[in-house]
């Protein structure tokens, strides 16, 4: 049962919580051990929160997951983890992590509580509301980024907010498209909201957020405000890595029929892994070495 419990927390999905470190990196706080420690703590809190959300979601979706070719193997759906244990553990993680966040600071605790409440509401029913389902997932990413900022006592950049929500929508709609085509006639049985979408509609949405994401990041790097705040004009040099990363994901989605799990691709697709590493290395080099 211990192995099933750990698997139900979906540790491979915790890569999404790395967004917490955006505030630390772009505030040029990597040289401050106290800031690094607080960011690591915030990352751990969001890993516990997301693990709790996954447990609650798996309990709610157990019946539908059994109709999915891969998700039927999840611990709750397969019966390896009892529903009562999953629900109790999920509740303890959500409440415990929220309390721990509040003990650090009220603003950070408020973000943690908002994340727990919003994503629990998503699992309970909001995921069945067309378009709103995608916006809630995107808001979850924004709350991760916001948590990484407020835990350091900083103000959230409008650019970080814009880039985060657009990138999250890009990945969310890509995932919806993959599920819709992969499950075909059984798509609505597994996830009812898929009946409200069509490949053509999702293609249009993906096209809009793809262009918007690239434009927002490009404008962020060349913004006089950004250059003055960071003390460098070299950040536009990272744009090619963002271009390649988005185009690589589109290639996996449209040519390789992948895209159902962005976090998995980040850990398994070598080209995407290398691109993210190069982007991160370039950002650190520009902000910390050549600064």
Q: What is the pLDDT of residue 142?
A: 92
**Could you tell me the residue ranges of all domains in the chain?**
1-156, 157-291
Model pLDDT for residues 182-221, shown as the tens digit of each residue:
776 666 666 778 888 888 999 999 999 999 999 999 999 9
Q: What is the pLDDT of residue 73?
A: 81
Contact between residue 173 and residue 209 where contact means Cβ atoms under 8 Å apart: yes
Mean residue pLDDT across the chain: 89
Q: What is the pLDDT of residue 197?
A: 86
Residue ranges of the chain whose pLDDT lies below 70: 184-190, 258-265, 291
Residue 149 neighbours by CB distance under 10 Å: 25
For the purposes of burial, counting CB atoms within 10 Å of the CB of 168, is it exposed (0-12), middle (13-18) or buried (19 or more)? Answer: buried
Which residues touch 143 (CB under 8 Å, ≥6 apart)?
111, 114, 115, 118
**Which of 2.60.120.260, 2.60.40.10, 1.10.357.140, 1.10.3720.10 is the CATH number of 1-156?**
1.10.357.140
């Amino acid at each position: 049962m211990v192995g099933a419990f750990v698997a139900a927390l979906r540790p491979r999905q915790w890569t999404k919580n790395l967004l917490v470190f955006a505030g630390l990196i772009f505030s040029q706080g990597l040289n401050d051990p106290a800031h690094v420690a607080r960011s690591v703590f915030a990352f751990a809190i969001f890993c516990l929160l997301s693990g709790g959300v996954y447990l609650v979601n798996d309990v709610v979706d157990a019946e539908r997951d059994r109709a999915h070719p891969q998700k039927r193997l999840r611990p709750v759906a397969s019966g390896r983890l009892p529903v009562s244990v999953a629900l109790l553990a999920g509740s303890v993680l959500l409440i415990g992590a929220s309390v721990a966040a509040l003990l650090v600071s009220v603003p950070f605790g408020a973000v943690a509580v908002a994340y727990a409440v919003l994503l629990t509401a998503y699992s309970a029913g909001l995921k069945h509301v067309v378009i709103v389902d995608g916006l809630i997932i995107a808001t979850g990413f924004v709350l991760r980024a916001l948590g990484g900022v407020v835990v350091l006592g900083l103000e959230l950049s409008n650019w970080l907010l814009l880039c985060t929500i657009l990138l999250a929508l890009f990945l969310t709609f890509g995932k919806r498209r993959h599920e819709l085509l992969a499950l075909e006639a059984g798509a609505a049985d597994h996830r009812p909201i898929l009946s409200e979408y069509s490949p053509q509609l999702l293609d249009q949405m993906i096209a809009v957020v793809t262009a918007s994401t690239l434009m927002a990041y490009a404008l962020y790097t060349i913004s006089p405000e950004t250059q003055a705040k960071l003390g460098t004009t070299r950040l536009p040099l990272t744009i090619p890595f963002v271009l390649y990363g988005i185009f690589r994901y589109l290639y996996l989605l449209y040519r390789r029929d992948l895209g159902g799990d962005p976090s998995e691709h980040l850990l398994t697709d070598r080209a995407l892994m290398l691109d993210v590493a190069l982007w991160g290395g370039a950002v650190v080099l520009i902000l910390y070495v050549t600064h």
